[in-house]
Amino acid sequence: MVPFAGWEMPVQYTGVIPEHLAVRADAGAFDVSHMGQLHVEGPMAHEFLQAMLSNDLDRLSDGEAQYTLLTNERGGIVDDLIVYRMSHGHYLLVVNAGNREAAYGWLKEREARGTEVRDASDEYALVAVQGPRSLERLGLDDAPAFTHAMGEVDGVEVMVCRTGYTGEKGVELMCAEDDAVALWDAVLARGVSPAGLGARDTLRLEVCYPLHGNDITQDTDAIAAGLAWTCALDTDFTGADVLRRIKEEGPQRRLAAFVMEERAIPRPEMPIEGGGEVTSGTQSPSLDVGIGMGYVPAARAAPDTELVIDVRGKPRRARVVKKPIYRKES
Amino acid sequence: VATESYPDDLRYHPEHDWARIDGDEAVLGITWYAQDSLGELVLFDAPEVGATIAKDASYAEVESVKAVSDVVAPLSGEVLEVNQKAIDEPETVNEDPYGEGWLVRIRLADPGETDQLMDAGAYRAHIAEL
């Protein structure tokens, strides 16, 4: 167990590698109750969030969800989050645990007339069930990604969200905090293996999902991070003008994904020769090779570019690859 | 994965390394306690054959998915052989830390150093206090 954003979190149950492989091959369950939940309600909730979040909220219907960014005036990223549309006047934001207060504070400070922002994080538990057999194990029908609906798992009422952080098919199940243990037990009883924070990190890195605090921060912009697709630059959210300019001029650096060409494991904060720094790195359990992401000068971010990572004083070769690093064999 | 053990025929260093001494040579590795603390090993960054290693100083690195750790030399000497299996399949160290998962074989620079190492009983007492 390790402390994480005020929570005691399991890094691993049986081991990072078997947990990781179980999610890729079958199904794994992550207790991600540390994630924050913010309700944004009121007749002006839609207009308010459209001005606060980077993605185009107009594209969402009731029962749909969207990956989006909470941006600052400099185009930096306060948090990356998923917004769930409950109705026109009611949205649910699932934010990173470490940014719960920052995101809530940011929105609350700017709360417009006809909008109420409420931190409901302590009212919910969240269990992510991910992997090719996750729906079968849970007895749930398939549904399009980025949708949500109420449902139940063995008598526990849950909001079934077709979202996740592993690159696998799966769901995130949100329930009342009091039902957390019942839900967790029910999921495990259905043959889903428990998985910890360690596997959550290796899974997301293989598919190049950014981790806020590492790959994206208040000081990095969406264009450099490769998240332009989450920015509706024709709308006027916070920092959109800055991002439009960066997009037009081209970012000076880009978040590149790379695979080690030598036996070495990249780790956050390792320098990249020629200017740059590793922001995430690990040994890929699926590919059995060192993988990572890091910011490099834009000219060095193209696939097949050779990089040299300073691994505790030792130069180790890596090669930029197209994202995601890991693709499911089809 | 191996079950916890600290064989009586080995000598131990407080930084969780073992030595199997044979005349003026020794085979070195990390203890069950060390591999258990690190978790599944995915990389053994070995010294070169011919390298000189010094007692109490790092001579190699082992990494799990989440962590990097120096491997401390329990004795001084020259590296005669590196266990290629530990390089190719680092999980071998988890599975058999005192057998197939040995790390290097050295020629001792000062056989007298061995007197400074712990026996299995002393090492068990040492880890019980951690």
Does residue A282 carry a pLDDT above 80? yes
Average pLDDT, chain B: 96
* Chain A interface mutation, best of B1, B65, B91, B93, highest count of A Cβ atoms under 10 Å: B65
Going by pLDDT thresholds of 50, 70 and 90, the confidence category of residue A10 is: confident
Distances (CA, A) of A207 to A168, A325, A328: 9, 6, 10
Record: contact A265-B87, CB cut-off 8 A:
no
Give the residue among B93, B75, B76, B74 at the shortest CA–CA distance from B84.
Answer: B93
The whole-angstrom distance between B21's CA and the closest CA on chain A is: 30
ipTM strictly over 0.90? no
The first and second tokens of residue B89, run together, are 């399949």
* B-chain residue closest to A13, CA distance: B39
Of A263, A285, A312, the CB nearest to B65: A285
**Residues in chain A closer than 8 A to B40 (CB atoms):** 15-17
pLDDT at A329: 74
pLDDT at B123: 98
* pTM for the predicted model, two decimal places: 0.93
User: What would the pLDDT profile of A94-143 be if each residue is shown by its tens digit?
Assistant: 999 999 999 999 999 999 889 999 999 999 999 999 999 999 999 999 99
The whole-angstrom distance between A283's CA and the closest CA on chain B is: 6
pLDDT at A9: 80
Strands A28-31 vs A193-194: parallel, antiparallel or unpaired: parallel
The low-confidence residues of chain B, meaning pLDDT below 70, are none
Percent of chain A with pLDDT over 70: 100
What are the start-end ranges of the H helices in A8-99? 16-25, 45-52
pLDDT at A47: 96
pLDDT at A7: 79
Going by pLDDT thresholds of 50, 70 and 90, the confidence category of residue A330 is: low
The whole-angstrom distance between A262's CA and the closest CA on chain B is: 11
Of A16, A202, A282, the CB nearest to B39: A16
Q: Judge whether A312 is closer than 8 Å to chain B, CB to CB.
A: yes
Q: What average pLDDT does this structure show over A37-44?
A: 97
Residues belonging to chain B with any Cβ–Cβ distance to chain A shorter than 8 Å: 39-40, 42-43, 45, 61, 63-66, 68, 87
